[in-house]
């Protein structure tokens, strides 16, 4: 596997910033995070750890359970020299036992950085407004910025250049798709999203933003279609997510029917470039959005992508809240 890096971003300082959505970050800032992630990963693999969070605490708010988010943030803080405190649904109720504003102000006085994995994005905005310390969006119904950072780090490490890259997202126009668009267009990636009718990306918060962003010099483009094969044709990367996410279980049977034909399988892979890679944010529902043979095949970058949640988030934490 070849590892290459894009040109270095201009010097940027992200200290004290929050990460609510990648829409709020510039191309140079996104590149700076990605390049930092790649370098920190290399040093970690070489036994040269970074500890910019020594003596610091992360408060982790979880409204939704997760494997990768919890493990990567806890492990990341440990490797960076700090510690992470898990606050589950039974420990803290955003806007229930006490207001999100009050929770943010309390945590901001006792923790150095806050990570929140929530249902509604408004909770992230309130935490950012009142905490007084960096807040990292670990997932909301609107975006999943940490996932997109790990995704594009993986693209870099597999020797793909961002400029002119065709990334095809097959499936629900959800929070993952939104973040791939917000980062991708700024990096020069041509993002295609193939979704069945009724599951397209949002117009107001995403498509309108993309229309403006794509007009900037060096920006990528956004193409929407209901034809998975058209999206996959000559693609450099194929990406998918589960058809039924947490909280949507009651819609499962309808979604299984609506998403027929939107599976990444060997046939769809044959439409992409021969060296195309496969991406999936996990967990995977084999036989639905992706087949087992493709997810575990030679072109799968899924497991590097999952690992890179750790390294991309370590870079983000260090840049936003490190010593």
Cβ–Cβ < 8 Å for 136, 147: no
Q: Say if residue 212 is exposed, middle or buried (CB neighbours under 10 Å; 0-12, 13-18, 19+).
A: exposed
Q: Where are the domains of the chain?
A: 22-143+308-321, 159-300
Q: Domain 22-143+308-321, what fold?
A: Rossmann fold (3.40.50)
Cβ–Cβ < 8 Å for 284, 300: no
| pLDDT at 265 (0 to 100) | 98
Q: Domain 159-300, what fold?
A: Rossmann fold (3.40.50)
DSSP 126: H
Common-topology check for domains 22-143+308-321 and 159-300: yes
In tens, the pLDDT along 239-278 reads 999 998 877 788 899 999 999 999 999 999 999 999 999 9
Q: Say if residue 75 is exposed, middle or buried (CB neighbours under 10 Å; 0-12, 13-18, 19+).
A: middle
Q: Which of 117, 121, 255, 280 is catalytic?
A: 117
In tens, the pLDDT along 195-213 reads 999 999 999 999 999 999 9
In tens, the pLDDT along 102-132 reads 999 999 999 999 999 999 999 999 999 999 9
Q: Which of 141, 309, 311, 313 is catalytic?
A: 309
144 annotated active-site: yes
Q: Which of 63, 147, 153, 313 is catalytic?
A: 147
Cβ–Cβ < 8 Å for 321, 134: yes
280 annotated active-site: no
Cβ–Cβ < 8 Å for 148, 22: yes
Using a cut of 0.85, tell me whether the model's pTM lies above it: yes
Cβ–Cβ < 8 Å for 278, 301: yes
């Amino acid at each position: 596997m070849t590892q290459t890096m894009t040109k270095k971003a201009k010097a940027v300082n992200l200290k004290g910033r929050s990460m609510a959505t990648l829409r709020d970050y510039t191309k140079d800032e996104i590149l700076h995070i990605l390049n930092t992630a790649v370098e920190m990963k290399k040093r970690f693999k070489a036994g040269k750890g970074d500890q910019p969070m020594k003596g610091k605490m992360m408060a982790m708010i979880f409204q939704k359970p997760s494997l990768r988010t919890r493990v990567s943030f806890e492990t990341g803080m440990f490797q960076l020299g700090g510690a992470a405190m898990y606050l589950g649904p039974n420990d803290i109720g955003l806007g229930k036992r006490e207001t999100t504003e009050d929770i943010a102000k309390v945590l901001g006085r006792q923790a150095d950085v806050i990570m929140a994995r929530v249902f509604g994005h408004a909770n992230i905005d309130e935490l950012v407004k009142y905490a007084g310390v960096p807040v990292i969006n670990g997932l909301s119904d609107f975006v999943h910025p940490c996932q997109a950072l790990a995704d594009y780090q993986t693209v870099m490490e597999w020797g793909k250049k961002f400029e002119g890259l065709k990334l095809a997202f097959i499936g629900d126009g959800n929070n993952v798709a939104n973040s791939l668009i917000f980062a991708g267009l700024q990096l020069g990636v041509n993002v295609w999203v193939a979704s069945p009718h009724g599951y397209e990306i949002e117009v107001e918060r995403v498509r309108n933003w993309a229309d403006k962003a794509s007009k900037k010099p060096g920006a990528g483009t956004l193409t929407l279609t209901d034809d998975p094969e058209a999206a996959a044709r000559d693609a450099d990367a194929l990406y998918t997510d589960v058809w039924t996410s947490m909280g949507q279980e009651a819609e499962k049977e309808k979604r299984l029917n609506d998403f027929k034909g939107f599976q990444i399988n060997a046939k769809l892979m044959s439409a992409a470039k021969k060296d195309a890679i496969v991406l999936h944010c996990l967990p995977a529902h084999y036989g639905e959005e992706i087949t087992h043979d493709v997810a575990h095949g030679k072109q799968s970058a899924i497991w590097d992508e999952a690992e890179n949640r750790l390294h991309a988030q370590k870079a983000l934490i260090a840049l936003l809240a490190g010593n």
